[in-house]
Structure 1
């Protein structure tokens, strides 16, 4: 099988690989919009490291109360301490709650959301980031049907579903936001990656229904960029030759998610749709908003 980069369709806009002026988080940290996320309650599932940690850290630096969720207590405690240290100088009132839970277990997530509502009374943003990728080193019939395939579906689809199931009724009350971290793998044919690609395709479809059934909640699926992290979101097997090009920063998806969920309504036309953190958001709005809305673009569709 070839290890060349997969051919993926993209919007013809400028490709971004790091934070840029249009999505700079600085106005939310200490600038003219520094009160935007104050008193907001943010839940980040898979928030103890990598992309999820960066997202949680940005919300905390913007003054929000942040709940980070992970299976492992030690990484949660380390993440909480780091976030509080990073925000201490600018946001002395920052609060971080670390809750150990398995996103694929509905009872765990039900209890997480219940604790959040009991403690804070409301929920404003839920980010479903937890994911695994598998080994990407064999045909799907050659691996264990559970550990090498179905477990990925449980974490990558059932996990976000559980977060959505218990968070959406609360987000509906606040007119909040639901974000699911997806991947461009949803539309690529990657050898040996069927579980991961199928899971991300299903996740995109789930968020389309989220927006349809909870229209007062802005809902997005977002490709975070090509990022190598310590989290098991790519694979444990041999890396494809194109993987060294994974040079996008962890701050890129964090900044764009902050922008999408700031409550301004500016990018609500993207609710229920898939977008990539690599796409220049201003250009998407300026050059593509009309077509996206009128032609119902960036959704799952059978085209002939």
Structure 2
């Protein structure tokens, strides 16, 4: 399905304002790949069915944060259907137990560990990564999905500083914590560190500085993973306009049309090695990755595009 309307930080806008802000005041709306089909659902190039049938991830161990709701659930389900063993992380143990039971019913025999913790807590994160590796003997894929988005509408000088910094703490520090402790194990497995980012990282939306800055910095963190640890492949993935509780709670007057299975299928595809040429870059799940590869691969590699940098025409 081709997206219509204007895409703002993962949401299709059908009006002249977004988050109560005039579109003319939002910076970065033209910063996208031109001439690429965009999707709100799974499309043939990344169809996970063959990966499920082949149990492509049968020997892999995958750790997913933010796994109790939103897009974290289908991401975990997709890896399970592809044969992976799972470590699921979220704050609420009861919700994790429900997700675990659902996966075990859907894919009998799947091994699933759960860890209820706060991603900001370094000691808890270290224990979860260590516990995963102790139980399974390895770690192949980290999917850092846990995040937060406060309602838009309050400018820098009026927002509660604690609220502003909480967004940075969860969206950036929470991802860094898991990457920090996962890297030694991902280096051994030549694995993947995939972080869920947002188009909001390159858009500058007034009253959304905490979210935008956190995702902008997250994209740069992914770049550093690749630069400092060439053995580890890393991607910053914009999931699209998924109607999660967090997105709906932002109060944005937009249509959230992207199916959560799209981001799950994209993350699974990126972990297969078929898109390693995009290593260290920002990737939108809504882009048709087949078209991106066919039309833009040479340009992206030549110009080192899809990274955060100063650029001149």
Q: Which TM-score applies when normalising by structure 1?
A: 0.92
Is residue 2:131 matched to residue 1:115? yes
| Matching residue of 1:17 | 40
Aligned-residue offset at 1:8: 4.3
| Matching residue of 2:62 | 42
Matched residue of 2:148: which SS?
coil
Contact 1:8 1:184 in 2 (8 A): no
Contact 1:220 1:272 in 2 (8 A): yes
Structure 1 residue ranges without an equivalent (≥5) = none
Contact 2:179 2:193 in 1 (8 A): yes
Contact 1:136 1:236 in 2 (8 A): no
| Matching residue of 1:94 | 110
**1:235 & 1:191 partners in 2: Cα distance?**
18
Counterparts of 1:1-304 in structure 2 under 5 Å? Answer: 2=21, 4=23, 7-12=29-34, 13-30=36-53, 34-87=54-107, 92-146=108-162, 148-230=163-245, 232=246, 234=247, 236=249, 239-241=251-253, 243-244=254-255, 246-262=256-272, 265-304=273-312
**2:103 & 2:252 partners in 1: Cα distance?**
33
Q: After superposition, what is the alpha-carbon deviation per residue over 1:74-96, rounded to whole angstroms, capped at 9, x for unaligned? A: 11111111222222xxxx32111
**2:303 & 2:52 partners in 1: Cα distance?**
36
Contact 1:47 1:130 in 2 (8 A): yes
Aligned-residue offset at 1:137: 2.2
Contact 2:55 2:81 in 1 (8 A): no
**1:135 & 1:261 partners in 2: Cα distance?**
32
Aligned-residue offset at 1:212: 0.5
Aligned-residue offset at 1:235: 6.7
Aligned-residue offset at 1:285: 0.9
| Matching residue of 2:9 | none
Contact 2:186 2:192 in 1 (8 A): yes
Structure 2 residue ranges without an equivalent (≥5) = 1-19
Matched residue of 2:99: which SS?
helix
Matched residue of 1:178: which SS?
strand
**1:57 & 1:70 partners in 2: Cα distance?**
15
**2:199 & 2:79 partners in 1: Cα distance?**
25
Moved >4 Å (runs of 4+): 3-6
Figure out how many residues of one structure are paired with residues of the other and give that number: 289
**1:250 & 1:199 partners in 2: Cα distance?**
22
**2:264 & 2:249 partners in 1: Cα distance?**
25
Matched residue of 1:133: which SS?
coil
Contact 2:46 2:269 in 1 (8 A): yes
**2:83 & 2:137 partners in 1: Cα distance?**
17
